[in-house]
Amino acid sequence: MRAGGVPRRPGRKLAKAKNTKSESRPAHFEREWRRFRARCPGRLAALSALVSLASCVDVIPGTAPSVLPPAETAVALGVRPGPAFSHLSLTEPDATKALAGFRESCPRVTSRIDGSGLTRPEDWRQACTAAANWGTGSAVLFFASYFETARVGDGKAYATGYYEPEIAGSRTRQPGFEVPVYRLPPDLVRARPGDAPPLADGKMPLGRYGADGIFTAYHDRAAIARGVLMGRGLEIAWAADPVEFFFLQVQGSGRLRLPDGSVMRIGYAGQNGMPYTGIGTVMRERGLLGSGSGQYSGSMQGIMRYLREHPAEGKALMDANRSYVFFRELTGAPTDGPTGALGVPVRSGSSVAADPRYVPLGAPVWFDLDRPEADGLWIAQDTGGAIKGPNRFDTFWGAGSQARLTAGGMSGRGEALVLVPKGTLARLLGRGPGTR
């Protein structure tokens, strides 16, 4: 048992192989828009015209989310075989938990396009058929029989943690519950082709259309906190504590403990289109975090302590994260975890968020980190606004005080391996059937 009551995930170290002002555009938006118009004059009327402008702008135009810049996939970055499966000291309890998560993911992985370029839907079918009929046989044997290890890029991993917060809330506004929880506003839309430059992933940006019909960025966190959305009937609940609610937004889902003791579960419905800024990074740059005199711990708990002890500065820090998350009520939700980006419930100690450009959602991922409680086999079933880049992960720890403690202090570095169906690497490296 580790300090703080977190049990180790034993026996799973990698054995060493031998060898806006609301109606105006922000300045950055205006600069990009002027640049786009100047470089590509007279060709903004239709999507077909946008597709012809690939040489004209520094992004991939169009709206299809599956179109990614060539340098931003696992295949483009480079993938190579990892160690033999026998070098992974996988335990039966760990493998059994991962097999349950993989089995739930199978309907998705066999039918969706893998944005990483590593796999095709048909690659997963043999393993998924076997998983559905595996019964009580050895789960370690299952993974050894149907998977091989792959290292994406240099394989050097960084993993943080997330959890499902539970905070005080109310379905109605009343004394002590003054922080609105908003549903997705109907005027938050994507720009029509020609009304704004597309984003790097080919999607059109999120924003809103003013009364003059001009597309502009959506309200940021500070404007929403000042009440720009009040009076529109968008509130689905009210929270008691703005700091707790801020961190619930960072997590993307959570539970509201209502005055009568019942629980209202809320899940991610959308985001205002503004970039995410980690306030921990800002605080560290300002010298507020560290081990010196007057500094605060860089954990979530340390950051929350600073925000509470310095309310004015804390509000300004929270407003520096212009991103704002909107929610929907989850009815009939699973009891063990919210629904992740893959469309299946995430599981404590088993589900991990990853960047789908580098890890196929639904794939098993192996960690060998300097945080033993996070070592072992996980299933990539979620994504996150701050989880970007190769070998960047966010481990899910469930709900409750222990989950909050573990997730808030999780910062692990080490090695990551993606498990892909056998034969995948031979195909990718040009040595097998179906090479493309």
- Domain ranges in the chain are 165-189+208-330
The residue behind tokens 């309907």 is 107
pLDDT of residue 339: 86
- Cα separation, 354 vs 361, in Å, equals 8
Find residue 131's DSSP bridge partners.
none
Phi/psi at 256 (nearest 5 deg)? -105, 120
* Res. 32 pLDDT band, cuts 50 70 90: very low
For position 57, what pLDDT does the model report?
Answer: 25
Confidence bin at 392 (pLDDT 50/70/90): very high
Examine the pLDDT at 411 and tell me if it is beyond 70. Answer: yes
Instruction: Give the tens place of pLDDT for each residue, 3-26.
Output: 333 444 544 444 443 333 333 344
d(CA 309, CA 278): 19
Q: Lowest-pLDDT range, 127-131, 247-251, 288-292, 331-335? A: 331-335
Give the number of residues written for the chain: 436
Give the model's confidence band at 200: pLDDT under 50 very low, under 70 low, under 90 confident, else very high: confident
Q: What is the pLDDT of residues 68-83, one digit of tens each?
A: 444 589 999 999 999 9
Q: Which residue has the higher pLDDT, 392 or 54?
A: 392
Across 92-102, average pLDDT = 96
In this predicted structure, what is the pLDDT of residue 28? 42
Residues 6 or more apart whose CB falls under 8 angstroms from that of 435 comprise 427, 428
Which residues sit opposite 270 in a β-bridge? 326
Task: State how far the Cα of 313 lies from the Cα of 216, in Å rounded to an integer.
Answer: 29
Question: What is the structure's pLDDT at 331?
Answer: 83
Report the pLDDT value the prediction gives residue 285, as an integer from 0 to 100: 95
The model's pLDDT over 300-320, given as tens digits with 9 standing for 90+, comes to: 889 999 999 999 999 999 999
Supply the mean pLDDT for the chain: 84
SS3 of residue 402 by DSSP: helix
Cα 382 to Cα 387: distance, rounded to the nearest angstrom? 10
Is 1's pLDDT higher than 70?
no
The confidence score (pLDDT) of residue 253 equals 86
Average pLDDT over residues 25-30: 42
CA angle centred on 72, ends 68 and 79, rounded to 5°:
125
Q: For 177, which DSSP code? A: B
Do 171 and 383 meet the contact criterion of CB atoms below 8 Å apart? no
Residues 6+ apart with CB under 8 A from 332: none
- Is the per-residue pLDDT at 412 higher than 90? yes
Q: What is the mean pLDDT of residues 143-170?
A: 96
- Quick one: fold of 165-189+208-330? Ribosomal Protein L25; Chain P (2.40.240)
Considering 6-10, 55-59, 135-139, 221-225, the range whose residues carry the highest mean pLDDT is: 221-225
Given a cut of 70, whether residue 234 has pLDDT beyond it is yes
3-class DSSP state of 159: strand
**Max CA separation in the chain (angstroms):** 68
Q: Tens digits of per-residue pLDDT, 354-386?
A: 999 999 999 999 999 999 999 999 999 999 878
Please determine, for residue 94, whether its predicted confidence score (pLDDT) is greater than 90.
yes
What would the mean pLDDT of 321-344 be, rounded to a whole number? 86
Predicted pLDDT at 180? 98
**For residue 316, how far is the Cα from the chain centroid?**
25
Average pLDDT over residues 190-206: 93
For range 152-178, the mean pLDDT: 96
Per-residue model confidence (pLDDT) at position 334: 62
For residue 60, name the pLDDT band (cuts at 50, 70, 90): very low
CB count within 10 Å of CB 100 equals: 15
**Whether 91 contacts 138, CB under 8 Å:** no
Whole-angstrom distance, CA of residue 130 vs CA of residue 133 = 5
Compute how many other C-beta atoms are within 10 angstroms of the C-beta atom of residue 35.
13
Query: For residue 84, what is the DSSP state?
Result: -
DSSP string, 327-339: EEEESS--SS--B
* Inter-residue contact 237 to 171 (CB < 8 Å): yes
Q: How far apart are CA 87 and CA 190, in angstroms?
A: 47
**pLDDT given for residue 431 in this prediction:** 57
- pLDDT above 50: residue 140: yes
The arithmetic mean of pLDDT across residues 290-299, rounded, is: 92
Chain-centre distance for alpha carbon 134 = 30
d(CA 301, CA 402): 12
